[in-house]
Structure 1
Amino acid sequence: MVAIGIDDIELVATHDVLELAELARVRGVDPAKYEIGLGQTRMSVPAADEDPITMGATAAARLLERTGTDGIRSLLFATETGVDQSKSGGMFIHGLLGLPKAMRVAEIKQACYAGTVALQSALGVIAREPESKVLIVMSDIAKYELEGSGEPTQGAGAVAMLVSANPALVEIEPETGIYSADVDDFWRPNDSTTAVVDGALSLSAYLDTLTGSWDDYQARGGHSVAEIDRFLYHQPFTKMARKGHRELAKHTGTELPEDVLEASFVYNRELGNTYGASIYSALISLMHHDEELAGKRIGFYSYGSGSTGEYFTGVVRDDYRDHIHTEPIQSELAARNVITFDEYVELHERVLPSGVDVENPRVTNAPYRFAGIRGGARQYEANS
């Protein structure tokens, strides 16, 4: 059976960033509540000319500079921050990148689980057509009400991933466990720019879905917890992943060390919640900061509010370090523009109605920008 999995992967952040210590100061709370209680340090904030399309296109462009487009016949765009109720965000990216016309393009939505739906769909496509490749783009902006309980867990970012046969980075194993239950723990109505979240219910749903998907994974011949070397979890904030790890240890009756999680937290602490991209930004962080992954089995717990989740595993290829690229994201994180609290509020409250023509200011240095709205249609362009 041919190995199928992740051949290349890329992560991008936003132009602007807010220090959570500054948010804590203005909100009158101890900074430790965010730094230790949530496990977060900063949160990415999109500039006026950034959105999920520009972030996703930037991530995909970086990846394609290395891989080219040969063999790519599908582009799957996974997001819960869609910019249009009909047209796939993937079509905007397809046009910005000048991708081949012989390509299927679609958008997938199920909260933070959408990226994994795209990955599993890609595995099926390549099992049928081993010579083909699938480009997956996960891009999101986590946005909650000002002064709400979710405010310090906001963030933004995008991941692009190339899935192929004989992958260079991670072979995804066939066994998988799934679990779904209709729960109102988190949602965003069509007429709202911010999500609604029930924090206590969201945590319980996250943990119930973890144990439910794990049990299904075991029932379908999955590996024992002792055979898994590293663990990745959906990270709305890093402390949530830690809670998940403790729940899995309790559920399996196994002592699971928590130090194996730390390498996967590095980027999330800087980005904040990236929704569907978060578990895959955790994978990138793990590969960039753990130097002993060759041949190791990674457990993935992907969760999407509402709620559904999946547990699966992948094995890191022996020569993976020859194919990882740390420089782009690490340089980008270091170069972000630190904004003031007032600038953050202004960006948070900036909402563009579709019926009014708007020209966005030129802010981002990324390759692509959201230029504005003209005739009701969103306008994107390459940065000159």
Structure 2
Amino acid sequence: MKLGIVDMELASANYVVRLDTLAKATGVDPNKYRFGLRQEAFSIPALDEDAVTLGATAAARVLERAGQEGIRTLIFATESGVDQSKSAGMFVHSLLGLSTAVRVIETKQACYAGTAALQLALGLVSRNPSERVLVVASDIARYAVASAGEPTQGAGAVAMIIGADPALLEIEPVSGIWSAHIDDFWRPNDLSTPLVDGERSMDAYLGAFTGAWEDYRARGGFELAEIDFFVHHQPFTKMAIKGHRRLVEHTGKNVEESRVEPSLNYTPYLGNCYTASLYIGLLSLLHFKRELSGKRIGCYSYGSGAEGEFFTGVVQPGYERFLHPNIAAQEIAGRTELSFEEYRDLHVAHERGSAVNYSNSRKTRAPYRFVGLCDGARVYADSTLPIVTGTWNVHEGH
């Protein structure tokens, strides 16, 4: 029985900051970003957007195509959680109008959580092949201004339906895992931006890669020569190339970087999307490389702290019929560009402090929006409609 990805789609945020704009304003050579990171821009959310609205938008797109039938579980993977108790998936469940007969959970392990959700979903489907699982990986990478991470910010989400007889990608059963406690990247509860040891994080990424690869091979995984293309976690685009070079060096095999390049078309313009990053790379490969039927794809997922996993999937015959690259193109082209001053003002505005009541004016063009807080409770709505919650009225501009 084949198990894997039935359908998948992405979503991003309302605004974009071009790195040329950031470089000019901060006196940095733009080539440092263009060639050092291989980044061109990053998405940034409006005040009425967050991980929930991005994830709900991506999920609505796949459900519109595939329907809700058989979905018994929603797993929301994020490191941009909106509540310390309630799963962000509960808000998505409500926005999408899913059945009450759906279990909802949230997974967290930095950027790796999307793959953890995928593997959990595969286990559920293997137990009951008539069921499907909705996996949503959604994140907003936000770093302190003037920090080394500032040009690698980003925002995006990928939603996937996991089931039997997948139309897009069969996930093969063997995977390799490597985990160790490493303080390379973390965000305490009282901070809105993470703490990062950049050099240590790169070393952890690469070490977890070779460790996961060795575990994969020890468990009977395919040789490099049997893998046609690769998708690696992309905190910034150049990192995926660095990872591939380390794998080549580690194995002593000559595997061309052309097998990685098709997966690197979206991250330069969306920025770091944490849990969604690997799957945005997978969509890039599926959208930009033709004739992939029967091809085996090697996927490396990494999450700081640190955990890595290497697994493979086989592209299914007729997969092209289930792809919609026009949506990704519209997401990237449709964002509103911010000036440096507008961007920095918005960055500050996202610092909400300890407020328990506020409302956001409508800015997003997406189907869902974060309306604000009412006595500390988060309120979401269809972005085209005003909402009334108790005695608290929220309308455009208030």
Q: TM-score by structure 2 length?
A: 0.95
Once residues 373 and 31 of structure 2 are traced to their aligned partners in structure 1, the CA distance between those partners, rounded to angstroms, is: 41
The gaps in structure 2 that reach 5 residues or longer are: 385-398
Amino acid at match of 2:377: A
Amino acid at match of 1:369: R
Amino acid at match of 1:352: R
Once residues 158 and 276 of structure 1 are traced to their aligned partners in structure 2, the CA distance between those partners, rounded to angstroms, is: 8
Amino acid at match of 1:6: I
The aligned counterpart of 1:20 is 19
The aligned counterpart of 2:250 is 251
After the TM superposition, which residues 92-241 of structure 1 pair with which residues of structure 2 at under 5 Å, given as runs? 92-241=91-240
The aligned counterpart of 1:47 is 46
User: RMSD of the TM alignment (CA)?
Assistant: 0.7
Which deviates more from structure 2 when the two are superposed, residues 88-97 or residues 326-335? Answer: 326-335
Note the C-alpha offset of 1:354.
4.9
Which deviates more from structure 2 when the two are superposed, residues 346-355 or residues 160-169? Answer: 346-355
The aligned counterpart of 2:371 is 371
Note the C-alpha offset of 1:286.
0.6
The aligned counterpart of 1:345 is 344
Once residues 79 and 347 of structure 1 are traced to their aligned partners in structure 2, the CA distance between those partners, rounded to angstroms, is: 22
The aligned counterpart of 2:393 is none
Amino acid at match of 2:310: Y
**What per-residue deviation string (whole Å, max 9, x for no partner) do you get for residues 246-278 of structure 1?**
000011101111122222111111100000100
**What per-residue deviation string (whole Å, max 9, x for no partner) do you get for residues 16-51 of structure 1?**
000000001111111110011101001000011100
SS in 1 for 2:231: strand
Note the C-alpha offset of 1:13.
1.0
The aligned counterpart of 1:357 is 357
CA contact (8 A) 1:126 1:133 kept: yes
Note the C-alpha offset of 1:356.
2.9
**What per-residue deviation string (whole Å, max 9, x for no partner) do you get for residues 198-234 of structure 1?**
1100000000000000000000000001100001100
**What per-residue deviation string (whole Å, max 9, x for no partner) do you get for residues 169-215 of structure 1?**
00000001000010000000100000111110000000000000000
The aligned counterpart of 1:35 is 34
The aligned counterpart of 1:74 is 73
Once residues 348 and 278 of structure 1 are traced to their aligned partners in structure 2, the CA distance between those partners, rounded to angstroms, is: 22
The aligned counterpart of 2:57 is 58
CA contact (8 A) 1:354 1:373 kept: no
Once residues 68 and 173 of structure 2 are traced to their aligned partners in structure 1, the CA distance between those partners, rounded to angstroms, is: 26
Amino acid at match of 1:373: L
Note the C-alpha offset of 1:90.
0.1
Note the C-alpha offset of 1:349.
1.4
The gaps in structure 1 that reach 5 residues or longer are: none
Which deviates more from structure 2 when the two are superposed, residues 259-268 or residues 64-73? Answer: 259-268
SS in 2 for 1:160: strand
How many residue pairs align between the two structures?
A: 383
Q: TM-score by structure 1 length?
A: 0.99
After the TM superposition, which residues 269-280 of structure 1 pair with which residues of structure 2 at under 5 Å, given as runs? 269-280=268-279
After the TM superposition, which residues 295-306 of structure 1 pair with which residues of structure 2 at under 5 Å, given as runs? 295-306=294-305
Once residues 249 and 273 of structure 1 are traced to their aligned partners in structure 2, the CA distance between those partners, rounded to angstroms, is: 24
The aligned counterpart of 1:287 is 286
The aligned counterpart of 1:310 is 309
CA contact (8 A) 1:168 1:323 kept: yes
Once residues 175 and 74 of structure 2 are traced to their aligned partners in structure 1, the CA distance between those partners, rounded to angstroms, is: 23
Once residues 197 and 323 of structure 2 are traced to their aligned partners in structure 1, the CA distance between those partners, rounded to angstroms, is: 38
Once residues 203 and 18 of structure 1 are traced to their aligned partners in structure 2, the CA distance between those partners, rounded to angstroms, is: 25
Identity across matched positions, percent: 57
Once residues 11 and 324 of structure 1 are traced to their aligned partners in structure 2, the CA distance between those partners, rounded to angstroms, is: 11
Once residues 220 and 103 of structure 1 are traced to their aligned partners in structure 2, the CA distance between those partners, rounded to angstroms, is: 34
Amino acid at match of 1:332: E
Amino acid at match of 1:379: V
Once residues 353 and 374 of structure 1 are traced to their aligned partners in structure 2, the CA distance between those partners, rounded to angstroms, is: 15
Once residues 247 and 7 of structure 1 are traced to their aligned partners in structure 2, the CA distance between those partners, rounded to angstroms, is: 32
SS in 2 for 1:254: coil
Note the C-alpha offset of 1:97.
0.6
CA contact (8 A) 1:354 1:376 kept: no
The aligned counterpart of 1:5 is 4
Amino acid at match of 2:347: H
SS in 2 for 1:266: coil
Once residues 239 and 195 of structure 2 are traced to their aligned partners in structure 1, the CA distance between those partners, rounded to angstroms, is: 18
Which deviates more from structure 2 when the two are superposed, residues 348-357 or residues 84-93? Answer: 348-357
**What per-residue deviation string (whole Å, max 9, x for no partner) do you get for residues 135-183 of structure 1?**
0001000011100111101100000000000000000000010000100
Once residues 343 and 329 of structure 2 are traced to their aligned partners in structure 1, the CA distance between those partners, rounded to angstroms, is: 23
